[in-house]
Structure 1
Amino acid sequence: MMRLFLVESPTKAKTIQKYLGKDWKVLASMGHIKDLPEDELGVDLKTLEPRYVFVRGKRKVWDQIKRTAQKCESIYIGTDPDREGEAIAYFLWNLLKPLGKKLYRVRFYEVSKEAITLSVQKPEDSPNMNLVRAQMARRVLDRLIGYLLSPKLWVYLKNNRLSVGRVQSPALRLIVERERQIRQFKKKKFYYIKAVFEKNGHTFHLIWDYRFEKPENAKPYLEKLKSVPFEVERVVRGKVKKEPPKPFHTANLQAVASQKLGVGVDKVQKLAQKLYEEGFITYPRTDSLRMDEKKAQEFMNYIKKTLGEEYVGTLRKFKEKPTSQGAHECIRPVSLDRSPTGGVEEKLFTLIMKRTLASLASPALLEKTDVVVVPLCEPRMEFKGQWQRILFDGWLRIEEEELDLQEPPPLSEGEILLPKKVTLEERRTEPPPRYTEATLVKTLEKLGIGRPSTYAQIVKTLKDRGYVTEEKGVLKPTPLGEQVLDFLEKYYPRLVDYKFTAYMEEELDSVEEGKDWKTAVRYLFRAVAPEEELPSSTS
């Protein structure tokens, strides 16, 4: 008798079908089967009970699943192991239950034959309702904020195509605030004295780190220094370990890949999802840095075989966020024996592979040299320089990192030097840089705003709404974006408050631990929009 295996995407279905064989039928739900209605609130304001309807075009998908399910003896629901995946599993479960078939929920974090086989051998009896309620809480709160507050913005700006959002609004504030800081910034010039020396064909320079506000203030010192010898007062050499990087989770993969591959974070996430569904990498929406010990040993054996034992590091344990889901791993290759070929997909896989191996490699060893040279005159002036070079490359052999590497000058304490020239070095204060998609994601993660599944969508939404444009790789707010922020800061300040937004995330995460989701949603909405207070309810 045939068994049915359900997932979200056709790509994943195709991959899993190869692993399960002819006694199984693998079908895709094409994402969510049911959701809140598109054109109305869909939430009872008194009870907060959501009303779910078939997503447009999904009745046909459900009809096909139902027809196939009726011919099968058992059904395994293998949607993604996160809140969204659990919600999809929940709706499929409820739709399939009346058929009277054996129903199972299965979980896996990589699309490999081993993982799929193991999940089928150890199925669960039902969806995780805490995860389902956590998804409902986010969905309902976001719907309340979007549907009840956006019309106020429409009236204020006379534009009914605008929206406000729990996560997009504080992200907009970051971009607008940075732009305003840049506008208000006044560049200032300042000056340092630089002495250039040469020894044994090695030309180098040292800086006196006294800051002159005007060039004329430095002239007396410049004149004096051109005719005096300098003494090497201190040469300090020390060895410094450079620890390997952490493996990737969603936020740092999006940030690093966006920067190195020159694509947006939304594109990075879509590519990562495709790699996952094709069986190349583990689940790409995770905030965990944990790595399976068996796989880590396999990767370290590869390092030993290809580079030598001295390049093998250890499997480190990192402090996880309280909100991290313990079963999730970091983003890593499923295997080193197969990889995609061609295009950005291959480049992204290579980036993930190198980061995974680098995280398990030995530290690099650098030598840092600090030099202090003083002119033999009054007042005392300390000219300083610092150099670093690699003694052992370690993980840097696997993943390159831009380092300022220079061979130190061959100096000994007590020797006398004559400068080739002494000049004035002009520098300027610089405004803070505009956000790129990569640095915005890093900042949102640092502030605790959003979760792995939302980062890519945040940037896309801001662009789609016309609040932000991207020019030469940086994000700039439009006049409309600034007007929207002004409205929010005036009428709904908590919606753009970084600390409160992070607190909202924590409250919503607590639903996964069993907190009543309606209580959390009711409290958070009242806090954001007290004038829109929801009626009290005991349900």
Structure 2
Amino acid sequence: MAKNLLIVESPAKAKTIEKILGKDFQVKSCFGHIRDLEKDDMGIDLTNNYLPRYTVPDDKLKVVKELRQLAKSSQEVWLASDEDREGESISWHLAEVLGLDPRTTKRIVFHEITKPAIQKAVANPRTINMNLVNAQQARRVLDRLVGFELSPVLWRKVGMQRSLSAGRVQSVAVKLIVEREREINTFTTEHSYKIEAILTANDIAGRTVNFRAEGPSKLAQLNDAANFLNSCKGANYQVADVQVKPAKRSPAPPFTTSTLQQEASRKLGYSVSRTMQIAQKLYESGYITYMRTDSVNLSETARQDIRNEITQAFGDKYFQPRFYKNKNESAQEAHEAIRPTYMANHSIDDADGKRLYELIWKRTIASQMSEAEFEKTIAKINISTNKEQLTATGEVLKFDGFLKVYLEGKDDDDDNEEGGMLPPLTPGQLVAFKQMTATEKFTRPNPRYTEASLVKKMEELGIGRPSTYAPTISTILKRNYVEKRDKDGQQRQVNKLTLTPKNEVEKEIYTENFGAEKAKLFPTDLGLVVTDFLDTYFKRIMDYNFTAKMEHEFDEISEGKLQWSNVIDSFYKPFHTNIEHTLETAERAKGERELGADAATGKRVVARMGRYGPMVQIGEQTDEEK
């Protein structure tokens, strides 16, 4: 029997660490949380400072029994769960269940599963950080209070018996999706006409090349566009001014949890949950650092490894040391960004993890590389028959810098197009006319959220933390408040005018597809009804600023600045009063949506929420026949 028992969260991690530590250590997994609040009732003593009542679930009884036996026969027990609030809580629960003293039991933490990191952790043990435990406990207790008291209100006032639930973070996440859907549905499309000319000039080799130049502004009506093109008939086009400015582009910071989720969605098409599952596996296999973090820091050792990789592969001019500032001042879920543990490993053999690993490697390397340098040219071109000017914009890459390795992805609402290449242009130079078009353009509403863009918005608003983004999205999908699906596009006619080299204005009407979307989040009828009900009667819970304030208070508990039960008390008392008032006074939510009229009776047909779920009703509830 080994002298030391070291307990981690997952079996995969246990195997890797046991190989590193050798025969003096037996490494076992607790398979995550070993205790939770009682399920048969609230599990919280409201008369005793919100003291939680914990129990070991049935599926963990065997694990706990084995760990107790091993702990008794070991000289020393070490707790090595993850270094975030959930991990610290798991260590504390283990200490409680195994009869260990939290004040003296050795607690070790590491951000990567490598031999140096594990050995350093064992050489520098600490004890359980009760501030982190209390922060996790506060979140768990608060969320249980909200769910336990608010869900029955939904059962009585919305319907569907016990299948409805509400949560402090999940409900505001659904609200974001509902608000975006209504913004899209009420959006009024406006149209205008974009002027674009194709002109020609000689390049440095003397070849005639085309380049584009845009009109001064978008024109509101077809007549305005036609008048502009007619005014350009027979015109000469002369370069009035050329400005050449240097421009630089900096690399993005290394990945945090949310930026990894966003970029894996954009570049790999991964859902948030799939990204986290693969990242967890990569971490437990020793390939990357801890994957739940809101820090963009890199360790000094990592920086040196990155420098060696860059200078050896690309040369000294491509290396630029960079220190990034965390956007979240309380970034403390872990102390480093997500990065490879060994930068010399450009890729891995793991089939599932290969693409995500390479994305992480490239982003990490690029974060310490030189800026990309451009030469941006803006040419103003006079029209001899018109007082307006055309503008040609071009961009020449002078030094690729970090772009040699990595280019950050864009969301589908990013419309900024970089300028193309321009031939050499000088003031006074005449350029030849090829054609000019006026094309009808349509404004678009903000797009529906993807999983990744929802995470981005939640992070911007301060809602949730790295450990809660993926579970929140999984919950709202599972509860059928939101669905992820594609949307077919529609067709519309587009007007286009073309001024030809023969000075004739030709008109054409063509059809384009618009509005098609893939893997977007749509609120269900149930999500709409529940959101409206909660937003009417529980404004505080549904307020984004209030939700962010609670997250900030959890942060302050973890720093020892607030007492956790006081935070719960200040929330619960007004919340419970609100619950009682709503049960007494709120009307039952109908959630009606009119579908039309019944062909046989002429009575209106509505879809609404009934006691047992969505239903279709013909006529009014007071009608004798329905």
> Normalised by the shorter chain, which TM-score bucket?
over 0.9
**Correspondences of 1:177-216 after superposition (within 5 Å):** 177-200=179-202, 201-216=208-223
From 422, 429, 434, the equivalent of 1:408 is: 422
Write out per-residue CA displacement over residues 178-223 of structure 1, whole angstroms, 9 at most, x where no aligned residue. Answer: 1111111122221132222111221122111323221112322211
Change (3 A) 1:474 1:97: same
- CA-CA distance at 1:401 after TM superposition: 4.5
Q: Tell me, which stretches of 5 or more residues in structure 1 are unaligned?
A: 535-539
One-letter amino acid of the counterpart of residue 406, structure 1: G
Write out per-residue CA displacement over residues 156-198 of structure 1, whole angstroms, 9 at most, x where no aligned residue. Answer: 2211211111111111011111111111112222113222211
Write out per-residue CA displacement over residues 420-457 of structure 1, whole angstroms, 9 at most, x where no aligned residue. Answer: 22221211111210100111111110111000000001
Distance 2:100 2:423 in 1: 80
Instruction: Report whether the alignment pairs 1:508 with 2:510.
Output: no
What residue in structure 2 maps to residue 84 of structure 1?
86
From 367, 378, 382, the equivalent of 1:374 is: 382
**Correspondences of 1:454-469 after superposition (within 5 Å):** 454-469=468-483
What residue in structure 2 maps to residue 448 of structure 1?
462
Change (3 A) 1:319 1:87: closer
What residue in structure 2 maps to residue 95 of structure 1?
97
Please report the RMSD computed on the Cα atoms of aligned residues, expressed in angstroms: 2.0
Change (3 A) 1:99 1:410: closer
- On the 8 A contact 1:526/1:532 being kept in 2, the answer is no
- On the 8 A contact 1:78/1:107 being kept in 2, the answer is yes
From 424, 431, 434, the equivalent of 1:420 is: 434
- CA-CA distance at 1:358 after TM superposition: 0.4
Q: How many residues of Structure 1 are paired with residues of Structure 2 in the alignment?
A: 532
- CA-CA distance at 1:406 after TM superposition: 2.3
**Correspondences of 1:264-303 after superposition (within 5 Å):** 264-303=271-310
Which range moved further: 421-430 or 80-89? 421-430
- CA-CA distance at 1:533 after TM superposition: 7.9
- CA-CA distance at 1:135 after TM superposition: 0.5
- On the 8 A contact 2:84/2:333 being kept in 1, the answer is no
What residue in structure 1 maps to residue 564 of structure 2?
517
Structure richer in strand, relative to its length: 2
Write out per-residue CA displacement over residues 318-374 of structure 1, whole angstroms, 9 at most, x where no aligned residue. Answer: 145221128610111111344531433111111111100000111111111111112
Distance 2:83 2:420 in 1: 48
Instruction: Report whether the alignment pairs 1:387 with 2:397.
Output: no
Structure richer in helix, relative to its length: 1
Instruction: Report whether the alignment pairs 1:398 with 2:400.
Output: no
Aligned-partner SS, 2:449 = coil
Q: Tell me, which stretches of 5 or more residues in structure 2 are unaligned?
A: 203-207, 410-416, 486-517, 582-626
What residue in structure 2 maps to residue 347 of structure 1?
355
One-letter amino acid of the counterpart of residue 452, structure 1: P
- On the 8 A contact 2:279/2:291 being kept in 1, the answer is yes
- CA-CA distance at 1:266 after TM superposition: 0.9
- CA-CA distance at 1:239 after TM superposition: 1.2
Distance 1:225 1:355 in 2: 48
- On the 8 A contact 1:293/1:315 being kept in 2, the answer is no
Distance 1:317 1:218 in 2: 48
- On the 8 A contact 1:4/1:74 being kept in 2, the answer is yes
One-letter amino acid of the counterpart of residue 448, structure 1: G
What residue in structure 2 maps to residue 491 of structure 1?
537
Distance 1:129 1:449 in 2: 24
Change (3 A) 1:100 1:529: closer
Aligned-partner SS, 1:313 = coil
Instruction: Report whether the alignment pairs 1:2 with 2:3.
Output: yes
**Correspondences of 1:4-153 after superposition (within 5 Å):** 4-47=5-48, 48-97=50-99, 103-124=105-126, 126-153=127-154
What residue in structure 2 maps to residue 438 of structure 1?
452
- CA-CA distance at 1:392 after TM superposition: 0.7
- On the 8 A contact 1:226/1:421 being kept in 2, the answer is no
Over the matched positions of the two proteins, sequence identity in percent amounts to 40
Write out per-residue CA displacement over residues 273-294 of structure 1, whole angstroms, 9 at most, x where no aligned residue. Answer: 1111111111111111111012
Runs of 4 or more off by more than 4 Å in structure 1?
98-102
What residue in structure 2 maps to residue 362 of structure 1?
370
Which range moved further: 321-330 or 296-305? 321-330
- On the 8 A contact 1:133/1:512 being kept in 2, the answer is yes
Distance 2:29 2:331 in 1: 28
One-letter amino acid of the counterpart of residue 280, structure 2: Q
Distance 1:475 1:331 in 2: 27
From 229, 232, 236, the equivalent of 2:239 is: 232
One-letter amino acid of the counterpart of residue 334, structure 1: T
- On the 8 A contact 1:2/1:23 being kept in 2, the answer is yes
